[in-house]
Structure 1
Amino acid sequence: MDRRHLHRSIAPAALAVGGGLVLAMLPYAAAPAHAATTGQLRTDQVGYATGESKIGYLMASGALSGETYKVVNAAGSTVASGTVGGASRGSWNSAYPDVYPIDFSGVTAAGSYQLVASGPVGATSATFQVESAAALYGTLVSDGVNFYQNQRDGSNLVAGPLNRKPAHLNDAAASVYQTPSFQSGGNGDVINGSSLTKIGGPVDVTGGWFDAGDYLKFTFTTSYADDLLYASARALGSAAPAALSAEARYGSDWLNKMWNPSTKTLYLQVGIGSGNASGSFYGDHDLWRLPQADDSDTASADRYAAAHRPVFEAAAPGAKIDPDLVGRVAASFALAAQAEAATDPAGAATELADATSLYAMANTSPSGTLESAAPNAYYPESIWHDAMELGATEIALAQQALGNPAATYTPYLTQAATWAADYIASDSGKDTLNLYDVSALAHADLVSALAQAGNPSGLAIGSAALVADLKAQVASAAKVSASDIFRAGGNYADFDVDSHTFGFISTEALYQRASGDAQFAAFASQQRNWLLGGNAWGTSFMVGAGTTFPTCMGSQIPNLSGSLNGAAPVDTGAVVNGPNGTSNFTGGLGSLQGGMKKCEQDSFTAFTGHGSEYVDDVRSWQSSEPALDMTGSAILAGAVQSSLTGSVTPPSPGGRSYEAEAAALAGGANATGCSACSGGKKVSAVGGGSGGTVTFGGISEPAAGAYRLSVSYLSVGKAKQATVTVNGAAQTVAFPETDPSSYGVVGTVTVTVQLAAGSANTVAFSASSGKSAPDLDRIVV
């Protein structure tokens, strides 16, 4: 299991498929209040699908008698009611010895609701939505992509609400160093010696994503994350947001820099965590700063941590490379080839060549520790058959997508089947889909590749065995879930429960798609419910999803660029580690690291129970640090579940979905009232030209108050600024002036506006460009 590297120490703009200016209004997330009372109501704070089971949880300080509940809609009307009865599901902790389920599955109409309990306890839930499954899961996709944009390194950034700026441009001419030796004991990442030994360079390793709350860049985690993004875009097909595909491309572009096919060299990572024992040089985890400060850091002690970050090799040039790395990175190249096969066959062929050249370098008889990071303790990997199965499978699928003959891809299918059989024989049952086990994705894709090949005989394994192993992975978690008070299928007393739980949701959809068996669909919904608020702590573990979510993450950029304790802006889409074993918090969280802004929501500890604790605190790497793999798991879960129900719907504030159903209006035209309402939703669209005005009739959803207006410009062109006027109050916002390499989000900015209820709200906007007037395609309220 991951002992993620130690530090010493509301929804975003809607993502559109088309180009233009996209505006989405989001309510401020109030700072959570968690004073222990006689009762707490827990629900999925994002919402429930119209036809699925809907269970709330009443945590009580004792056995209940005479408690009732009701479900109230946005108009204040009761749409369902009943008695809180039956047996308690068990004791969570001494303060909440009884937890009662409340089944309100009869509520199926789309809308906004609250669950209210009355009687001896009395409690009210957060507001949640009932809507389509595609809309619910669409939140995970679009919000998760936002986090990846915030994690970008280099010059091609999305400024966003966190005001990201170019960083680590010195990575363009980085030096390669011999992998150092590390001291044993402690956190295991202190380097021996007074300096690092340079062995090569310069190499260009600009770009990529920061791994977690730090600024390190790992081939191991980036390739896993990129595999998930490409798989997500492929699952959604034409419904995939343009920004998702662009982000997957951003990841593989960096991995292309980390693999040099001419010298057969794969680079392992950029940067070091901690410095050396004497303190003559520091590591990334010894500093707390914004990334743009690093290139101009002239301190001698920071030379490896900031201004001139080292690059390490996975193996010597031309030497065989550990298979866990090879399989994941080769899969990323092959997935890129699949994505480009129809539109850029030549580019796809190049990606495929990179995949096959790297795949051929795998050491398939490894001994000792598998290489994943320096030090290996950051990401200790123990299995590899799954990664090689994934690499071989994606290569075969890429060759099929390019129309290559069976003689070309059959050897890879043969090898993929062999690795799958080895995984099932040696590794199955030890883990499920997460950073350390990619078998679920590999199995599902191998089933697809075999089907396209006509299900050839004579392989080490066939589709039936692959589907059976997928089922076993889901069934094992479903069994755990059935006996848990809040129906959690993961181990919340260990690391990475959130990543594993999103993995369950993905695996259920992959199994359902491969088998047609939907018997575990309710289990997948229960896992989403737990992740997004239906848990003992009453919080969503994805930033911006729901009413209460992490606001004090152990992450430098939001801590130093965002607002704290729930105020805007926040690092929307970030998924944190989540609850963890109480022993990991022994001794407290320590003092603030130099440069940290104090931010804490430590009252979550009132809900510590079952050996598990959750702390939302900038110092809490144990539970509140976000990472690429965790958020990538959420994106894949959203995408593959959406692919079962149809197209993904970009979410609006609080999970509500508004599609642009009105006829496109010419620039400068007006739309008054609600002439394009659907199901009570007020929608309008603007297309063509560089500006316009839209007037919406009395806004009742969302309610009156302060809102964040997120403005995104999507184009190959260059937008310099936009002016947004809401009810007469004008604000001008500047966009970054960097042209993207491909069609996608150029930048996102955020302004604060006031909306009134019961009267018209007029939103006027315009934009200008250094080249030509950009198109403003859609406004969504």
Structure 2
Amino acid sequence: MAINNVNANDKSAWIRINQLGYSPVSVKVAVLGSKGNQKFKTFQLIEVSTSRIVFKSKTSKNYGAYGPFASSYRFDFTKFKTLGTYYLKSGSTQSPEFQISTDVYAGTSDFVLNYMRQQRSGFNPYLKDSCHTHDGYTLYGPMPEKTHVDVAGGWHDATDYLQYATTSANATYHLLAAYRDFPGVFTDKHLANGLEGTNGMADVADEAKWGLDWLLKMHPRDDWMFNQIADDRDHAGYRLPNKDSVDYGYGKGTGRPVYFITGEIQGFKKYKNRTTGTSSTAGKFASAFALGSQLFSKSDQQYAEKLKLKSVSAYQYGLIKPGVSQTAPGTAPYFYEEDNWVDDMELGAAAIYQLTHEQKYFDQALQYSVQEKVIPWMGTDTARHYQWYPFHNFGHYELAETSDPVNKAKLISYYKEGIQKVWDKSKNNAFYRGIPFIWCSNNLTTSFAIQCVLYRKLSGDTTYIELEQATFDWLFGLNPWGTSMVYGLPGSANADTPVDPHSSLTVLQHYPLDGGLVDGPVKGSIFANLLGIKMHEADEYMEFQSDLAVYHDDSGDFSTNEPTMDGTASLVYLLAAKESQSGEVVAPKK
């Protein structure tokens, strides 16, 4: 709901802010976008309780046109550090109210976990019911066609109920890494099954284990690995997961198809993928298992040992046929078009090296690292759907953490090269936006912010801190539409967040999707050419749409307003990082 798109007087200019607020010691910037001819030379920061001007400054240069705006300015109030509630004003245009506080990010990563629990397959704690318990029967494997395998569990990928090993393993890794790197920000308010209660384990660890348990089912033997459950026959209309009859072309009562990783092209109908090997998915399995083994070694040694063995067997599966394992389409041309795999094998090898300290894994990880120094989407204007996935390479960070100074410097330089590519595209617009407006642009945004965090942690270099903050701010309202991209966050009454996402849960029952990160804006040309989109309501953001990018808070727009499980899991890591660092003084280089 676009409730913050109202100005005090001027109806042709808007000040965009991070609706979560700002840490007193962080970079603090807002952006004014104007459709008029007025020039904005100064701005004021005004305390809400007293209406007193507490800070004033010159605006930035006019960055010119961007999206729907004819002119745009950056308002930098980083120097102001006093806690309180404020709004910004320039001329007759004022921003929504916001806080400067040390706890603006407190509890946000735990809040986002609500969506992960809601996406659980098998037993779903949100619905307090079970779904998809008969999964599934095999396709493409060495076993007889339609052999039953027990793969119930895991998470639904998005609004539909497909389940992909590649996104689930990446999500699991992010949850594990968040627990490892920022344990102090997480609480214990849920049981292992997701219901309310305490079990002596942080909720993020419970959620990560839910992912690990499913991945173990998807890699039941050293020579068996599965890539996905279900296919686009799933797209048969809105229904709750616990009311899914699993009778949409699969065969009633048999569960859903489970696709075996063969390293060969797959697709059950007209459309086929471009699979070339086994490595991209197997590498993700290996890294999740290895990190899980490290983190559960003290609480459950037997489980940790099992994960250790599985990490090695998964890595070996990735060596069977080097290449990518793309997801399988069917009746529609849409699938995850992943075209890179050395990043996955690098992270897998690095994680196993951290676990076993066997030198061969370090050496192999280092060899993989030089084959793809920069994720290829960085610095570009477009890419195919999930073409370069994951959207940042965690392997460089994990390898650098255990490297000698020379190799560490090289790995850091790879991160810097990618960040610089994005900065070169960002620095000439007021939003510092250099990330392509492709499907799931918010996932790329989250990943890029994480790469900036990891780079800064490894190097101590704050050169890109304003870009890092701008990327984070974008997700919570500092964008042309003035809306947060996370359902229910922030939770204040005057916040502008998605309320009408593309989801059976909301369309059928008006259930909230607390914590879900929606896909985010796409190019106008992408939106215009997608199949099956039908808008249901008047567009409250009409005046902020442009050929550059569109975003709709409408359940009919699956391209911009569908929450994704893996993007949300990545956001858990990013928010945990921001919360843990909210008291740190991080100043940009001048």
When normalised by structure 1's length, the TM-score is: 0.64
Q: Quick one: structure 1 residues 158 and 125, their matched pair in 2 at CA, closer, same or farther if it must change by over 3 Å?
A: farther
1:483 counterpart = 2:432: no
> Which amino acid in structure 1 is aligned with residue 70 of structure 2?
P
Alpha-carbon distance in 2 for matches of 1:86, 1:261: 60
Q: Corresponding residue for 2:133?
A: 169
* 1:253 equivalent in structure 2: 213
Q: Is contact 2:212-2:288 (8 Å) kept?
A: yes
2:486 equivalent to 1:536 = no
Distance 1:475 1:83, change over 3 A: closer
**Aligned residue type for 1:584:** I
Who is 2:463 aligned against?
Answer: 519
CA contact (8 A) 1:434 1:633 kept: no
- Quote the residue 2:77 is aligned against: 104
Deviation at 1:168, TM superposition (A): 1.5
Distance 1:77 1:31, change over 3 A: closer
Give me the whole-angstrom Cα distance separating, in 1, the residues matched to 2:387 and 2:52.
Answer: 41
Asked if the contact 1:265–1:315 (Cα under 8 Å) also holds between the matched residues in 2, the reply is: no
Q: 2:533 & 2:327 partners in 1: Cα distance?
A: 30
> Once the two structures are superposed, what CA deviation does each residue of 1:708-748 show, in whole Å capped at 9, x if it has no partner?
xxxxxxxxxxxxxxxxxxxxxxxxxxxxxxxxxxxxxxxxx
Are the aligned partners of 2:170 and 2:390 in contact in 1 as well (CA < 8 Å)? no
Match of 2:269 in 1: none
> Given that residues 577 and 624 in structure 1 are in contact (C-alpha distance below 8 angstroms), is that contact kept between their aligned partners in structure 2?
yes
**In structure 1, what is the equivalent of residue 393 of structure 2?**
440
Contact 2:133 2:255 in 1 (8 A): no
Query: In structure 2, which of residues 351, 361, 365 is the aligned counterpart of residue 412 of structure 1?
Result: 361
- RMSD of aligned Cα (Å): 3.2
Deviations 1:670-719 (CA, angstroms, capped at 9, x unpaired)? xxxxxxxxxxxxxxxxxxxxxxxxxxxxxxxxxxxxxxxxxxxxxxxxxx
1:497 aligns with one of 426, 435, 441: 441
Deviation of 1:360 after TM superposition, in Å, equals: 1.1
| 8 Å Cα contact 2:379-2:434 kept in structure 1 | no
For 1:114, the aligned partner's letter is: Y
Alignment length (residue pairs): 546
Q: Provide Cα deviations, 1:152-188, integer angstroms capped at 9, x if missing partner.
A: 1112x322xxx453212222xx221338xxxxxxxxx
Amino acid at match of 1:585: F
Q: Distance in 2 between matches of 1:40 and 1:430?
A: 28
Matched, 1:291 2:237: no
* CA distance in 1: counterparts of 2:25 and 2:14, whole angstroms: 26
Native 8 Å contact 1:224 1:328 kept in 2: yes
The equivalent residue for 2:100 is 130
Query: Which amino acid letter does the alignment assign opposite residue 471 of structure 2?
Result: Q
Show structure 2 runs of 5+ residues with no match. 188-201, 265-275, 585-590
Distance 1:362 1:66 in 2: 56
Alpha-carbon shift at residue 599 of structure 1 (Å): 5.5
* Equivalent of 2:294 in 334, 338, 341: 338
State the shift of 1:435 in Å. 6.5
Gaps of 5+ in 1: 1-28, 180-196, 274-282, 400-405, 456-460, 563-568, 593-597, 648-781
2:125 pairs, out of 158, 161, 175, with 158
Please give the residue correspondences for 1:53-202 in structure 2 after superposition, counting only pairs within 5 Å: 53-65=27-39, 69-82=43-56, 87-92=61-66, 96-118=69-91, 122-132=92-102, 135-138=103-106, 140-155=108-123, 157-159=124-126, 163=127, 165-171=129-135, 174-178=136-140, 199-202=145-148
Cα distance per residue 1:498-522 (max 9 Å; x no partner): 1111112111111122122222222
* Structure 2 residue corresponding to 1:393, chosen from 345, 350, 356: 350
Partner in structure 1 of residue 402 of structure 2: 449
| 1:191-221 CA distance string (max 9 Å, x none) | xxxxxx9714221111110101111111111
Residues 84-109 of structure 1, C-alpha deviation per residue, up to 9 Å, x if partnerless? 7564221235x632223333334312
Is 1:463 the counterpart of 2:405? The answer is no
Change (3 A) 1:590 1:521: same
Question: Structure 1 pair 514/643, CA: closer, same or farther in 2 (3 Å)?
Answer: farther
Point out the more displaced range, 64-73 or 629-638. 64-73
Equivalences for residues 174-253 of structure 1 within 5 A: 174-178=136-140, 199-241=145-187, 242-253=202-213
Given candidates 255, 272, 277, the residue that maps to 2:231 is 272
Q: Matches of 1:475 and 1:357 in 2, distance apart?
A: 37
Q: Give the secondary structure class of the aligned counterpart of 1:48.
A: coil
For residue 519 of structure 2, the aligned residue among 552, 572, 577 is 577
Corresponding letter in the other structure for 1:246: D
Residue matched to 2:25 = 51
1:430-466: CA deviation from partner (whole Å, max 9, x where unpaired): 7899971466311111112336xxx7xxxxx822211
Matched, 1:309 2:269: no
Question: Could you tell me how far apart the structure 2 residues matched to 1:226 and 1:558 are?
Answer: 25
The residue that corresponds to 1:556 in the other structure is: 504
Deviation for aligned residue 1:414: 1.3
Query: Is the partner of 1:424 in helix, strand or coil?
Result: coil
Contact 1:43 1:529 in 2 (8 A): yes
- In the alignment, the residues of structure 2 paired with residue 69 and residue 323 of structure 1 have an alpha-carbon distance, to the nearest angstrom, of 53
Seen in structure 2, the aligned counterparts of structure 1 residues 579 and 505 have a Cα distance that, compared at 3 Å, is same
State the Cα distance separating 1:490 from its structure 2 match: 1.1
Retained in 1: the 8 A contact 2:346–2:366?
Answer: yes
- Larger strand percent: 1
Task: Report the secondary structure of 1:362's partner residue.
Answer: helix
Q: Distance in 2 between matches of 1:540 and 1:269?
A: 31
CA separation of 1:448 and 1:212: change in aligned 2, threshold 3 A: same
1-side partners of 2:474 and 2:378: how far apart? 23
The one-letter code of the counterpart of 1:607 is: F
Is the counterpart of residue 632 in structure 1 residue 569 in structure 2?
yes
User: Alignment partner of 2:73: what SS?
Assistant: strand
Where does residue 315 of structure 2 map in the other structure?
Answer: 359
Distance 1:583-1:417 versus aligned 2 partners, 3 A rule:
same
Deviations 1:406-435 (A, max 9, x none): 5xx211111111111222399696789997
Give the counterpart of 2:335 among 368, 375, 378: 378
Alpha carbons 2:66, 2:429 under 8 Å: kept: no
Which residue number corresponds to residue 268 of structure 2?
none
Query: Structure 1 residues 622 and 438 mapped into 2: Cα distance closer, same or farther (>3 Å)?
Result: closer
Kindly, what percent of the aligned residue pairs are identical? 25
Give the Cα separation in 2 of the matches to 1:107 and 1:168. Answer: 53
Aligned positions of 1:695-710 closer than 5 A: none
Partner Cα separation in structure 1 for residue 286 and residue 343 of structure 2: 13
CA contact (8 A) 2:26 2:582 kept: no
**How big is each residue's C-alpha offset from its partner over 1:121-153, in whole Å with a ceiling of 9 and x where there is no partner?**
x23322222123xx4444542232111111111
Q: Check conservation: 2:340, 2:388, Cα contact below 8 A.
A: no
- For residues 472 and 358 of structure 1, the distance between their equivalents in structure 2, rounded to whole angstroms, comes to 30
Q: Distance in 1 between matches of 2:294 and 2:325?
A: 28
1:224 and 1:435 in contact (8 A); partners too: no
Q: 1:350 to 1:101 in 2, by over 3 A?
A: same
- Name the residue aligned to 1:473: 418
TM-score when scaled to structure 2?
A: 0.84
**Pair 1:329–1:34, CA change in 2 (3 A):** farther
Aligned CA distance change for structure 1 residues 469 and 136 (closer, same or farther; 3 Å) = farther
Which letter does structure 2 place at the counterpart of 1:387?
D
Q: 2:544 aligns to what? A: 607
